[in-house]
Amino acid sequence: MDTKRVPVTREGLERLKAELSELKDVKRPHIVAALAEARSHGDLRENAAYDAAKHDQAMNEKRIGDLEALLRNAEVMDTSAKADGFVRLGTTVVVEIDGDEERYTIVGAIEARPSQGMISNESPVGKALLGKREGDSTSVQTPRGETRYKIVRVER
């Protein structure tokens, strides 16, 4: 059994708890009702509605199990401390890339949403930024070549 601690922000923890609650309290009963409705149509061997509901049930239960495991191993990061200027888990960093500014929040892998500016501490960019401070520069090898990041500002 893997008991590796999973870093997560307080906000991320609350999102995971809300998702788990939604899956258990809303989606699960809906699936049970769909299964009952499909069963009422008789023969289950060629019942597409029943097969779809069983598939939905399996996917839902899998996600519930995954979330419960994540929550058991979640380690909430303290992001309330005063910013010390270093890029750490939970900090937001403004970087300059080829003259353009980008804003990233460094989060644990389970919270990462790159399209929303939330990058994993385990990603190449996240790893390169961790421990750096305002004014520092770092380079990251990407599929398109090397990209240089200059840290403009570190926020909490």
| CATH at 30 | 1.10.287.180
What are 84's two structure tokens?
């010390």
In this structure, the answer to whether residues 62 and 103 fall within a common structural domain is no
Assigned domain for 82 exists = no
Classify each residue of 57-67 as buried b or exposed e, where b means 16 or more C-beta atoms within 10 Å of its C-beta: beebeeebeeb
Assigned domain for 21 exists = yes
**pLDDT band, very low/low/confident/very high, at 3 (cuts 50, 70, 90):** confident
Residue 16 scores a pLDDT above 50: yes
The pLDDT of residue 1: 47
What are 23's two structure tokens?
């899956």
The pLDDT of residue 2: 55
Q: How many domains does the chain have?
A: 2
What are 41's two structure tokens?
């149509």
Give this prediction's pTM: 0.76
Residue 133 has, within 13 A of its CA and on its CB side, a CA count of 4
H or E stretch covering 139: strand 137-142
Instruction: Judge contact between 138 and 132, C-beta under 8 A.
Output: yes
In this structure, the answer to whether residues 11 and 70 fall within a common structural domain is yes
Per the structure, the complete domain to which residue 46 belongs is given by 6-76
Helix-helix angle 10-22:48-73, to 10 degrees: 150
The domain that contains 118 carries what CATH number? 3.10.50.30
Q: Mean of the pLDDT values across residues 87-92?
A: 90
Q: Mean of the pLDDT values across residues 38-63?
A: 90
Mean pLDDT for all residues in the chain: 91
The pLDDT of residue 83: 60
**pLDDT band, very low/low/confident/very high, at 59 (cuts 50, 70, 90):** very high
Assigned domain for 47 exists = yes
Instruction: Judge contact between 10 and 25, C-beta under 8 A.
Output: no
In this structure, the answer to whether residues 96 and 71 fall within a common structural domain is no
**pLDDT band, very low/low/confident/very high, at 80 (cuts 50, 70, 90):** low
What are 111's two structure tokens?
């919270």
Assigned domain for 42 exists = yes
- Residues 21-31: tens digit of each pLDDT: 999 999 999 99
Residue 81 scores a pLDDT above 70: no
Assigned domain for 68 exists = yes
**Between 90 and 136, the higher pLDDT residue:** 136
Q: Which of 80, 30, 37 is nearest to 56 (CA)?
A: 30
